[in-house]
Amino acid sequence: MDAHTQVLFTGIGATALMDVAMVARERFLGIPQPDYGFVGRWLGRMAHGQFVHPRIAAAPTVRGERAIGWAAHYAIGIAFAGLLYGLAGAGWFRAPTIGIALAVGVATVAAPFLVMQPAMGAGFAASRTPRPNAARIQSLATHAIFGLGLYAAGLLSSFIPAP
């Protein structure tokens, strides 16, 4: 498998594992899943020149916002797998290790803490949410699961022979 395909496979696999974990978290712990429609709304409103919202849920809807949000969710997962490739190199995909994958996964929590949450009205690191510490812990756990997914998908891709 070439490097581009490995990054694509790893990003999709890690994101899918994170999504499965979010379904399980909702089912067993009653914690709602993220609404990627809001991500789509945020991205869609950018085309209208609005990059920051006091409360994304109150912003006008955007046609196809759920599809936009889900596509962005997976594109971001692939981009973060590309970051892993950039940091660890092609050799990591031949013999994946958990340390760097988990570190990259946890580090990716910077995106929602520093960019997405403030821009969508939740404040820096969810500071404007009803339970900021719970939101932060959930975000960190979710991104740690993404890191484990990077490792698992990378490990799986290492067994797929190159064409």
Instruction: Please give the angle made by the CA atoms of 35, 41 and 47, to the nearest 5 degrees.
Output: 155
Task: Output the pLDDT for position 106.
Answer: 98
Task: Output the pLDDT for position 32.
Answer: 93
Q: Is-above-0.75 flag for pTM?
A: yes
- Low-confidence residues in the chain, pLDDT < 70: 162-163
Task: Output the pLDDT for position 163.
Answer: 66
Task: Output the pLDDT for position 158.
Answer: 84
Q: List Cβ neighbours of 38 (8 Å cut-off, separation of 6 or more).
A: 56, 57, 65, 69, 120
